[in-house]
Amino acid sequence: MVSSSGVASQSEERASKRLFDCRDAFAQTLMEIAAEDKRVCAVVNDSVSSTKLKEFKTRFPERFVNVGIAEQNMIGVGAGLANGGMVPFVCGASCFLTARAMEQIKVDLAYSRSNVKLCGMSSGMAYGPLGPTHHSIEDVAWTRVIPNLQVIVPADPEETASAIRYAAGYDGPVFVRVSRMPVPEVMPEGYGFSAGRAAVLREGNDVTLLASGVMVSRALAAAASLAQRGVEARVLNMSSIKPLDEEAVMRAARETRGLVTVEEGLRAGGLGGAVAEMLAVRGGARLRILGIPDAFAPTGTAEFLLEHFGLTARGIEDAALEVIRESC
Amino acid sequence: MEISGARAGQAGGGGPERGARLKHLANRIRLTAMAMTHHAQLGHTGGDLSSADVLAVLFGGGVLRVRAEEPWFAQRDRFILSKGHCAAALYATLAFHGFFPEERLRTFMDPMSPLNGHPDRNKVPGVEANTGPLGHGLPIAVGCALAARMRGEAWRTFVLTGDGELQEGSNWEAAMSASHYELDQLVVIVDRNRIQQGDWTEKTIRLDPLAEKWRAFGFAVEEIDGHDTSALEAIFARVPLVTGKPTCIVANTIKGKGVSFAENQPQWHHGVPTAEELKQAAVELGVEMPW
């Protein structure tokens, strides 16, 4: 685990500064890796601009495949490229990439253990008013239950870059969620993603906030606000949804009075589901799962929708106070 | 050792003798697949039998540049069985060519056997893709062909699809990309036996004019008798049929070919032969029982 009070204060400080679109870090990193490794290639489903891979296409035209609007073929092509010794990054809007080609993801990638990297772009509710057709609030639940498939939800540009590098070096299928919602930097400089390892962004022994993706900065903001009320919240970045850092969760269950998970996705089956499953088996803890209920979102911007579903620093703070109250 | 050698179904020499040897190999594949299906009491006899000649020519005729001793050598030709339900025929073919011991065929679908009802590339040398759900093979084959181009390698990619399978839209997504990228090192062979699980293809969802469909999708297409080993050898020797175009060979076949009671009978799609039927099949096919 990454853990020190220095790291914690650095995370909060960085969180207060400018905002980033993680797709930029994704595209930049992919080009860096492609320059280093001739096996790295990109496959897209017409999504050249929405994946921000225009420059990749210009720099590495022979290693850029656009299959058109054809996600089932896209995943199979990725599996075939991997069969031929390439390291394909298969990129598309997460809603289409996962849902449209789920059987191909299961069979061609996971069951086959193909060395393919799935990059689900603009995940969660980032497409805002385009509506539930374009939201990808189910992707983590869907991918998490498939054997052999790792699931990563980076929180900021630094972690996105690190996760993409990790994926390139890992021999097997990985799903990485890449957000387009503006996020502040929350990870310490020089941080390196490691599968199955949660990063402690803030120490605390009253309550633990377990967050992923765009919710990490909001969890840090909630922790800062809680501190002003005399409540010390531990904040864990749970970017490695699968494998899950079970030990970090168990430590939090033992050492703090309750747990709050928070994610930009369905309450069922995602990070909260994973934590609930393991706590039910390994020993209980008070748990609140924040996410999207069993409902499709109304019309609204991504920020509006996060507020609508209580996925804000305030919402996290309230949930944290609630579990602490229950523990008394 | 490349499998085009003497071990490849003993198909050395040329002319009628060579044709007879390939035919014999195909019939060994047929009877062995039936014996495996009898053993497992599960399987897909009809398609095993219709595709046997194509498999015999690809592996036994030395079309594929593959090596049993080094099944994953990087420059190998890729063969993908998209109709993964015909795993028994593929396993028999691979075993006859030294990819794994023939004795293992007797474990078909046994608990913990590597020979699952549908092929698993992580368990069986020579299996390139985990298939079973239909419409997966051609997209993977397109990826293999693109990889060859990206890496500057000369390997070719062959994919054997069923015909009913072509009702899956993913095939046509892949077909568009194959012609768009001018993948002339890609060869699709359609086992056109005209029967799918429940009925004739044309009574289920019409596929004809099938060759025209492939042409419209930008393939160089030829239709041949998929049981004529000489014709199969001749056409494989000519691919790519047109430079810059992927090839599609519509192999007109008979489901259940070679065994009178199974020929053209939709119920033999996944029919399981009895011990008596197996003996009759051995007589009709003119080959010895594998065990």
Closest-CA residue of chain B to A86: B147
> Quick one: pLDDT at residue B9?
42
Q: SS3 for B158?
A: strand
- Across A49-68, average pLDDT: 97
B118 touches B87 (CB < 8 A) = yes
Between chains, do A84 and B147 touch, taking CB under 8 Å as contact? yes
| A229-251 residue pLDDT tens | 999 999 999 999 999 999 999 99
Handedness of CA A159, A71, B79, B197 (dihedral sign): positive
Contact with chain B for residue A40, Cβ under 8 A: no
Between chains, do A80 and B133 touch, taking CB under 8 Å as contact? no
More confident residue, A197 or B12: A197
> Quick one: pLDDT at residue B8?
42
N residues, chain B: 291
Residue spans of alpha helices (H) in chain B: 15-40, 45-55, 87-96, 137-151, 169-180, 201-204, 210-216, 229-238, 275-285
Contact residues, chain A, for B170 at CB < 8 Å: 70, 72-73, 76, 104
**Per-window interface: A 52-111 vs B, CB < 8 A:** 62-63, 65, 67-68, 70, 72-86, 88, 103-104, 107-108, 111
Of the candidates B143, B174, B181, which has its C-beta nearest A84's C-beta?
A: B143
> Quick one: pLDDT at residue A328?
83
Closest-CA residue of chain B to A65: B146
Contact residues, chain B, for A113 at CB < 8 Å: 122
What is the complex's ipTM, to 2 decimals?
0.94
Between chains, do B173 and A62 touch, taking CB under 8 Å as contact? no
CA distance B152 to chain A (A): 11
- Across A210-216, average pLDDT: 98
What's the rounded Cα separation, in Å, for the pair A306 and B201? 50
B43 touches B37 (CB < 8 A) = yes
Residue A62: CB atoms within 10 Å: 10
Q: Which residues of chain B have pLDDT under 50?
A: 1, 4-12
> Quick one: pLDDT at residue A16?
60
**pLDDT class of A10 with cuts at 50, 70, 90:** low
| A317-328 residue pLDDT tens | 999 999 999 988
pLDDT above 90 (res A13): no
> Quick one: pLDDT at residue A7?
52
What's the rounded Cα separation, in Å, for the pair A245 and A155? 16
Of the candidates A84, A85, A111, which has its C-beta nearest B130's C-beta?
A: A111
> Quick one: pLDDT at residue A283?
86
Between chains, do B130 and A83 touch, taking CB under 8 Å as contact? no
A131 touches A299 (CB < 8 A) = yes
> Quick one: pLDDT at residue B16?
80
With 0-12 / 13-18 / 19 or more C-beta atoms within 10 angstroms meaning exposed / middle / buried, residue B204 is middle
Instruction: Specify which residues A152 forms β-bridges with.
Output: A176, A240
Closest CA to A227 of A256, A206, A248: A206
CA distance B282 to chain A (A): 35
Helix pair angle (B137-151, A71-83), 10° resolution: 50
- Across A42-52, average pLDDT: 94
**Which residue of B76, B149, B150 is the best one to mutate when testing the A interface, meaning the one whose CB has the most A CBs within 10 A?**
B150
> Quick one: pLDDT at residue A6?
47
pLDDT above 50 (res A218): yes
What's the rounded Cα separation, in Å, for the pair B200 and B265? 9
Between chains, do B143 and A83 touch, taking CB under 8 Å as contact? yes
**pLDDT class of A4 with cuts at 50, 70, 90:** very low
- Across A273-293, average pLDDT: 95
pLDDT above 60 (res A8): no
Between chains, do A83 and B136 touch, taking CB under 8 Å as contact? no
| A177-195 residue pLDDT tens | 999 999 999 999 889 999 9
Contact residues, chain B, for A62 at CB < 8 Å: 149-150
